[in-house]
Amino acid sequence: MIRRIGEELGMNPTEGKAVWHNEHFKFSTDVGSGTWEVAFEPVRSVKEASEQIGLMHSITEIAGREGVLLLGLGVQPVSMPSWEQLMPMERYKAFADRYSTNNVLERPLVDLLLIEMTASHQVHVEVSRQDAVKAVNAFNLIAPELIALFANSSVVNGAPVGMSSYREPLWDSVVSLEQDRGRRGMPLRRFKDMSDYVRTVSSFERIFDASSNGHMDFTQYGCVWWGARLKPDTRTIEIRSIDQQPGLKSLISATALVYGLASNLDGLHSHVAERSMGTAGIARIDAATNGFDAKIGGEPITQKVHELLEIGAKGLELSGEDPSFLDRLSDRLRGRENPADEARRIVERDGISSLIESRRI
């Protein structure tokens, strides 16, 4: 299917036709054969990003003609994972060998296969070296607010699971080796400076062998699974706490919020000035479980989300962007219903087929 879409769109194949690309985006399968990764080229504004995201229609149109539906959900809602769905790539085999636990799944399956089911909207924003550590600390600390606002993985194996974001804590189950616990979920503490960040990442056991092609090996930086991490090869911060959203307009809103927050880093830093990683870590699980009913340090998370939206709106204004990109998120907060709540309601009222139809991208 990937190859058929790539050829019809006149895209160029790489990596043995596993990845297809043009001047706007590249796409491929991810960990599981049922998860497609679409990576857009860098742009300079939210407006340009919204235009790029709109190009997704070309993929969904071709896939739809072949009877393939792309769903705006943070987790595949119909069935559990299998070995057959794992893509035959060396990095995924390495993960499966290392994380062959059975905390959730039973043999012959292993917990690593759980991430076949998940999908997220990951936003990269360019940051200067001077602001990088300030940004990665702040964005990790606001993971609870982002989870509550964007949770969209409440239905698993055909039924609600009692969580708003089933996807968010999955890495905690998968990356469960004692020596790896500091590399997923939430950093154990704030980073003091860039040297501290590099030392922390470098201290974890290497999962892949270093590249032998003469270039700097960046794989170690991609083997920490926090809510936010630095990407030295692209000089960006990657935000990872956002479940895949129910439609293209929601994806644009999520992108705009991250950009607005990064553009108002002083305001964001003030927002979390008194918050510890420990407090944020507790609130992260609370938000993944309870959505807008969660609390942060004893305070309602809804108030913190409201403050975050104001910071993001100001950041958009400072950068010459339109803060109305966030209106959809303000409506979501006002109604106290995130996409996970809506999905749960649809399944309980009309069944899983209605959810699938309603979440077609």
- 138-156 per-position pLDDT tens digit: 999 999 999 999 999 999 9
What proportion of the chain, given as a percentage, has pLDDT over 90? 73
Give the bridge partners for 65, in sequence order: none
Per-residue confidence (pLDDT) for residue 75, from 0 to 100: 96
Residue 267 has pLDDT above 90, yes or no: yes
Per-residue confidence (pLDDT) for residue 217, from 0 to 100: 47
List the Cα angle 31/33/34 in 5-degree steps: 105
Rounded to the nearest 10°, the torsion over CA 222, 223, 229, 233 is: -20
Sign of CA dihedral 310, 153, 30, 48: negative
Per-residue confidence (pLDDT) for residue 216, from 0 to 100: 35
What proportion of the chain, given as a percentage, has pLDDT over 70? 96
Residue 5, both tokens:
């879409």
**Residue pLDDT, tens place only, 46-66:** 999 999 999 888 999 999 998
Residue 133 has pLDDT above 60, yes or no: yes
d(CA 303, CA 5): 44
Residue 8 has pLDDT above 50, yes or no: yes
Domains along the chain? 1-70 (no CATH), 77-358 (3.30.590.20)
pLDDT-derived band of residue 18, with 50, 70 and 90 as boundaries? Answer: confident
d(CA 134, CA 197): 11
If you average pLDDT over residues 289-296, what whole number do you get?
98
If you average pLDDT over residues 188-200, what whole number do you get?
96
Element (H, E) at 36: strand 36-40
Per-residue confidence (pLDDT) for residue 29, from 0 to 100: 86
pLDDT-derived band of residue 15, with 50, 70 and 90 as boundaries? Answer: low
If you average pLDDT over residues 270-280, what whole number do you get?
98
If you average pLDDT over residues 216-231, what whole number do you get?
81
Per-residue confidence (pLDDT) for residue 183, from 0 to 100: 94
**Residue pLDDT, tens place only, 305-316:** 999 999 999 999
Residue 239, both tokens:
């935000």
Give the bridge partners for 303, in sequence order: none
If you average pLDDT over residues 302-331, what whole number do you get?
98
Residue 17 has pLDDT above 90, yes or no: no
Per-residue confidence (pLDDT) for residue 214, from 0 to 100: 36
Residue 96 has pLDDT above 90, yes or no: no
Residue 185 contacts residue 287 (beta carbons within 8 Å): no
What SS3 class is residue 300? strand
Residue 249 contacts residue 262 (beta carbons within 8 Å): no
Question: Which of residues 194 and 15 earns the better pLDDT score?
Answer: 194
Question: Which of residues 334 and 175 earns the better pLDDT score?
Answer: 334
If you average pLDDT over residues 70-83, what whole number do you get?
94
Per-residue confidence (pLDDT) for residue 90, from 0 to 100: 77
Per-residue confidence (pLDDT) for residue 32, from 0 to 100: 86
Q: 42 preceded by cis ω (within 30°)?
A: no
Q: How far apart are the first and last CA of the chain?
A: 17
One-letter amino acid identity for 76? Q
d(CA 40, CA 81): 27
Question: Which of residues 244 and 212 earns the better pLDDT score?
Answer: 244
